[in-house]
Amino acid sequence: MIVCICNNVNVATIESAVVDGAATVDAIRQQTGAAGCCGKCQFKVNRVLQKSLDNLDASSVSSSIAVMSS
C-alpha cells in the first residue's frame, strides 16, 4: 500500500527503513523520501513507523525469551 503518493513510498519501504535503523519521521524522510514534498502523508508515515517499531520490539523480546529458554 502506498503511504506517500508524492514520492511513491509504500509500507514495505518504510518497514525496511525501520529495520535498517530509522526511528523517526525525519530519518524515514531521509532514507525513503516519504513526507518530503507536500507533507500530507506525515501522519500516515508516523503511524507505519510506530507500528514497525512496535513489531521490532516484540520480535526482539521474543528473541530474548528464546535465548533465555535455550
In whole angstroms, give the CA distance from residue 51 to residue 22: 13
Q: Closest CB to ligand FES among 21 and 36?
A: 36
CB of 35 to ligand FES, least distance (A): 5
Nearer to ligand FES, 44 or 51 (CB): 44
Interface with ligand FES (CB under 6 A): 4-7, 34-41
For residue 30, the tally of other CB atoms under 10 A from its CB is 13
Coil vs helix vs strand at 4: strand
6 vs 56, beta carbon nearer ligand FES: 6
| Sequence letter at residue 64 | S
